[in-house]
Amino acid sequence: MTLTHERSETASASSNDAKSPKTDAAARRPWRHRISRFDQNASPYFYISPFFLLFGLVGLFPLLYTVWVAVHEWDLLKGQGEFIGAGNFVEILGDPMFWNSIFNTLSIFLLSAIPQLAVALVIAYLLDRGLRAPTFWRMSVLIPFVVTPVAVAIIFSSIFNEADGLANNLLNLIGIADQEWKHNTALSHLAIAVMVNFRWTGYNALILLAAMQAVPRDLYESAALDGAGAARRFFSITIPTIRPTLIFVIITATIGGLQIFAEPRLFDVSTAGGIGGSDRQFQTTVLFLWELAFFRRDLGEASAVAILLFLLIVGIGVINFLISRRISTGDAPKSRVARRRARTAAAAAAATAAAGTTIATTTEENAR
């Protein structure tokens, strides 16, 4: 009995010694597993954290600080004044010059953005068709974007000079009198829109070209075999396929068009200090903001204008996004007549299919 008891104790002791390393390994494994899972879940956030830190420093903080300045009286030299709440916003909304700048901004934006995007689409489509020396044409399209805005403004200010500019000289050749490009509101908007289109059309064309080159060529070949022409392939294949890029270009063009500053600022510097014409006939909202901040030294009202312009850009950007998405996907709401015709066609197709099935069944039974 004693010998048997000693053997059992020895066996149990050896088994405990054998299990102890496995037990320690099992105890350490959850700790390492937890660290591994934490690293797997947290690493992506650490990788993207520099962007959010930089955005918070140069993007979010200035935006919030602008709101803080907008609710105070704030002189450019004296600094912060007393809290006035929405007083700056009320003052700006009651200022006719603000609404004049809004009208000028929207007018120049429409005259520049719509032709710019249309021409960019056409240029991108032509470059995608396999022209000879494609690199030369792509670089040529991008050259106006490389030119600095100051140089572009000087060139076009000379072209639209009312005394001896190239534009008036060309008009005189066909019997049209000299035009007041820098004093007439509509003509000044048109001239500035030409400047904007000159710089940004090629840039947008290359972005759209990159999207078009990603479209599978099999789609075009199948459509061509089915008899679809070039225009039908463009509107039925190209436009819907490049929808995300098209929306991106439209939104960026909207943001840039509503924040236009350099072109109207440099278009006629000799008149009224470059604030948008002698009668502010082409003063944009950003130019009005600049005048408030650095001519009148009222940073409070200038910040209020910045907030209102931000809301305007967001609103128009959302509208452009919804319209462009609906147009490019072709999911515009159908009229009542179109829906009725679609239902009728579907019912006729179902009836035809049912009749065909019935005839086939009857023929098979007769054959039996």
Average pLDDT over residues 308-326: 84
Residue 367 has pLDDT above 90, yes or no: no
Q: Residue 138: its pLDDT value, please?
A: 81
Most confident of 218-232, 244-258, 329-343: 244-258
- Do residues 154 and 265 make contact, with C-beta atoms less than 8 angstroms apart? no
Residue 146 has pLDDT above 60, yes or no: yes
Q: Residue 148: its pLDDT value, please?
A: 83
Question: How far apart are the C-alpha atoms of 182 and 159, rounded to whole Å?
Answer: 11
Q: Residue 152: its pLDDT value, please?
A: 87
- Do residues 317 and 254 make contact, with C-beta atoms less than 8 angstroms apart? yes
Residue 249 has pLDDT above 80, yes or no: yes
Residue 19 has pLDDT above 50, yes or no: no
Own/partner contacts of 237-244, CB < 8 Å, gap of 24 or more, are: 238/125, 238/212, 239/328, 240/328, 240/329, 240/330, 241/211, 241/215, 242/208, 242/211, 242/212, 242/215, 242/328, 243/324, 243/325, 243/328, 243/329, 244/211
The amino acid at 164: D
Token reading at 96? 């006719």
Lowest mean pLDDT: which of 32-46, 174-188, 336-350? Answer: 336-350
Residue 22 has pLDDT above 50, yes or no: no
> For 174-227, how does the pLDDT look when each residue is reduced to its tens digit (9 = 90+)?
888 888 888 888 999 999 999 999 989 989 999 999 898 888 888 888 888 888
> pLDDT higher for 44 or 67?
67
- Do residues 181 and 231 make contact, with C-beta atoms less than 8 angstroms apart? no
Question: How far apart are the C-alpha atoms of 191 and 197, rounded to whole Å?
Answer: 10
- Do residues 196 and 147 make contact, with C-beta atoms less than 8 angstroms apart? no
Give the 3-state secondary structure of residue 339: helix
Residue 359 has pLDDT above 70, yes or no: no
> pLDDT higher for 130 or 334?
130
Most confident of 67-81, 263-277, 347-361: 67-81
Lowest mean pLDDT: which of 178-187, 226-235, 283-292, 325-334? Answer: 325-334
Helices in 296-335 by DSSP H: which ranges? 299-329
Instruction: Supply the DSSP symbol for 368.
Output: -
Question: How far apart are the C-alpha atoms of 205 and 83, rounded to whole Å?
Answer: 48
Question: How far apart are the C-alpha atoms of 253 and 113, rounded to whole Å?
Answer: 6
> For 56-98, how does the pLDDT look when each residue is reduced to its tens digit (9 = 90+)?
888 888 889 999 999 988 888 888 888 888 889 999 999 999 9
Lowest mean pLDDT: which of 110-119, 123-132, 242-251? Answer: 123-132
Q: Residue 306: its pLDDT value, please?
A: 92
Q: Residue 28: its pLDDT value, please?
A: 54
Residue 126: how many other CB atoms lie within 10 Å: 13
The amino acid at 237: I
Token reading at 118? 């249309």
- Report the percentage of the chain scoring pLDDT > 90: 19
Token reading at 333? 């709401």
3-state secondary structure string, 62-83?
Answer: HHHHHHHHHCEEEECCCEEEEE
